Structure 1
Amino acid sequence: MAETSTDHKAHTPFLSRPGVRRLAPFVLITAIALVFIFENRTSVEIRLLIPEVTMPLWGALLIAWGLGMVACAFTVRRRPNRHSRRPR
């Protein structure tokens, strides 16, 4: 009996799947970043162009991390199939 593509996916180990291999470094770096962010609880003065605000350092780090994630989401584009491009 011929093996189908769904049978092949069922036998692929979880950590060998391309989606998991691509996501694992992101999860690891995010976990380390969040631990670093929430360990810094002191209040600091931050200048936002003109006003100066006092806020916990973890809040400022969390805002910066979130803005970085948003920037990454906008700049990283995934093509559906990058190997099927037609030569011109």
Structure 2
Amino acid sequence: MAQTSTDHKAHTPFFSRPGVRRVAPFALITVIALVFIFENRTSIRIRLLIPVVTMPLWGALLIAWGLGMLGCAFTLRRRSNRHSQRPE
């Protein structure tokens, strides 16, 4: 008897699925970055062009990480939209 596509998917190992292979490195890097961020709890002085602010280092690192993730999300979304439009 021939295998159907649903039978084949049921036997595919979890870590060899394309969605998991894309998300796993992102999740690992995110966990490592968040551990690094929250381990740095000292207060520091940061110059923001003109004003000088005092804030916890974890806050500054979290803001930088968030801005990096936002930039990455915009880049990936823009790239996927560009490739999905095919000239006719």
Same fold (TM over 0.5): yes
| More helix, by proportion | 2
Matched residue of 1:30: which SS? Answer: helix
**Residue 14 in 1 paired to residue 23 in 2?**
no
- Within 5 A, what are the aligned runs for 1:72-87? 72-77=72-77, 78=80
Question: What is the alpha-carbon distance in structure 2 between the residues aligned to residue 32 and residue 6 of structure 1?
Answer: 36
Question: What is the alpha-carbon distance in structure 2 between the residues aligned to residue 66 and residue 9 of structure 1?
Answer: 35
- TM-score, normalization by structure 2: 0.83
Cα displacement string for residues 24-79 of structure 1 (whole angstroms, at most 9, x for unaligned residues) = 11111111101100000000011112111000000000000000000000001336
- TM-score, normalization by structure 1: 0.83
Look up the match of 1:37.
Answer: 37
Look up the match of 1:24.
Answer: 24
Question: What is the alpha-carbon distance in structure 1 between the residues aligned to residue 70 and residue 19 of structure 2?
Answer: 20
Question: What is the alpha-carbon distance in structure 2 between the residues aligned to residue 57 and residue 16 of structure 1?
Answer: 38
Structure 2's unaligned 5+ residue stretches are none
The one-letter amino acid paired with 1:7 is D
Question: What is the alpha-carbon distance in structure 1 between the residues aligned to residue 25 and residue 48 of structure 2?
Answer: 32
The alignment of Structure 1 onto Structure 2 pairs a total of residues equal to: 84
The one-letter amino acid paired with 1:59 is G
Say what the alpha-carbon RMSD is for the aligned residues. 2.0
